[in-house]
Amino acid sequence: MMHRRALVGGIAILSLLGFPAAAEDTVKVGLVHSMTGVLAPVGKQIMAGVRLYMAEHGDTVAGRKVEVILKDDTTLPDVAKRLAQELIVNERVHILGVGITPSAMAIAPLATEAKIPEVVMVSGTSVVTERSPYIVRTSFTLGQQSAVIGEWAAKNGSKKTVIIQSDWAPGAEATAVFTDAFTKGGGEILDTIKVPLANPDFAPFLQRARDANPDTLFVFVPASQAGTFAKQFVERGFDKSGIRLIGPGDITDDNDLPGMSDALIGVVTAGLYSASHNSPINKAYVAGIKKANNGLRANFISLGGYDGMHLIYEALKKTGGKTDGDGLIAAMKGMKWESPRGPISIDPDTRDIVQNIYIRRVEKIDGELYNTEIATFEAVKDPSKAAKK
């Protein structure tokens, strides 16, 4: 604890002494992502997005070279915090690009103290953006998707739902927002079942869900666990049980869909991105990620990295290459652009992402499973923040 305090204090002292943040010409972007550990597939998708953006747009912006320094938080928030301190104090980074919810939260006080932007590229938990005025999000919130699917399910015949949720902050948010939307629409929640984040075995939880006799199963598992879940779902005969599977987009993650059984065809989710999204910009994106990463299919996570770099590049253009944190945050607020996922913007009041949420159905196209977009909810804000206003 003491050691950490001393390091954080060090940031303030260095700036008091008037040390320049880094070599004049280079803009340093420190990335803290989960490259190993439980959520390693998340780090892989993020970096695929970051690298593709830089390959397409070069590494010079507003006359300054952009240098990216990647650190692996091993999926542990304490490690993330230490690495962010090192990036700020030793590397003198101008901007941080961070990942999963626990890490983004652990880093937030450092961004505030050092007054540098913390671009959140993965976390889907609403409250994260409120942890520092220097946080801007390019990912998503679970609330955005869970509100839409809750309303859709209630309107489309679901009456009694069991929730299975990965037991950490984004799971709690998916459950709370879905429950609110679904019960307002007249539905009933029979049971909420929490599954550990690390190495989950879904079988006993699926049995408990079935015993409650629901017509619908709402499931949130994080990116990289959808394949395991789908396998156990089918092994336990759920696909033939008449119970409808729904969820936020994570449950039919494009990263895992190609390995899933055809028994998943017909599953409906509310998500922010499909690899089959029909736009020229997305076709180029999917092809670019695939080519540079051994056939990897771009998923909803990768966009946070790609759009995060876009936000950083465009903000630097607006400031004429100046890197002071307040100026960069001001430049980021209200920014709008077309992403491979569709049109997106940064809400100037909350610094959170505003994006379309699509209702999608799993279908087989040219021999591969995809999420086909069947309805669009335009420019969806994070519902938890909208409710507070």
Q: Interface residues with ligand PHB (CB under 6 A)?
A: 42, 100-101, 122-125, 170, 222-223, 250
Angle at CA of residue 42, ends 305 and 90, nearest 5°: 65
Q: From the CB of 366, what's the least distance to ligand PHB, in Å?
A: 26
Residue type at 279 in one-letter notation:
S
Altogether, the residues listed in the chain come to a count of: 389
Q: From the CB of 74, what's the least distance to ligand PHB, in Å?
A: 14
Q: From the CB of 137, what's the least distance to ligand PHB, in Å?
A: 10
Q: How far apart are the first and last CA of the chain?
A: 37
CB 352 within 8 A of CB 141: yes
DSSP state for residue 243 in the 8-state scheme = P
Q: Per DSSP, which regions of 114-209 are E strands? A: 118-120, 135-137, 160-166, 188-195
CB 49 within 8 A of CB 117: no
Q: How far, in Å, CA of 355 to CA of 347, rounded? A: 10
Q: From the CB of 222, what's the least distance to ligand PHB, in Å?
A: 4
CB 143 within 8 A of CB 175: no
Nearer to ligand PHB, 40 or 335 (CB): 40
Q: From the CB of 242, what's the least distance to ligand PHB, in Å?
A: 27
Nearer to ligand PHB, 253 or 315 (CB): 253
Nearer to ligand PHB, 99 or 325 (CB): 99
Q: From the CB of 88, what's the least distance to ligand PHB, in Å?
A: 21
Residues whose CB is less than 8 angstroms from the CB of residue 113 and which lie 6 or more positions away in sequence, other chains included? 8, 11, 12
Q: From the CB of 109, what's the least distance to ligand PHB, in Å?
A: 18
Nearer to ligand PHB, 99 or 187 (CB): 99
Q: Per DSSP, which regions of the chain are E strands? A: 26-33, 60-61, 64-72, 95-98, 118-120, 135-137, 160-166, 188-195, 216-220, 244-248, 268-271, 336-339, 342-346, 353-365, 368-380
Residues whose CB is less than 8 angstroms from the CB of residue 9 and which lie 6 or more positions away in sequence, other chains included? none
Nearer to ligand PHB, 30 or 124 (CB): 124
Distances from the Cα of 246 to the Cα of 35, 77, 99, 319, angstroms: 29, 30, 25, 43
Q: From the CB of 368, what's the least distance to ligand PHB, in Å?
A: 21
Nearer to ligand PHB, 127 or 330 (CB): 127
Nearer to ligand PHB, 124 or 187 (CB): 124
Nearer to ligand PHB, 30 or 222 (CB): 222
Q: How far, in Å, CA of 42 to CA of 50, rounded? A: 12
Give the ranges where 242-338 is alpha helix by DSSP (H). Answer: 280-292, 300-318, 325-332
Nearer to ligand PHB, 251 or 359 (CB): 251
Q: From the CB of 22, what's the least distance to ligand PHB, in Å?
A: 28
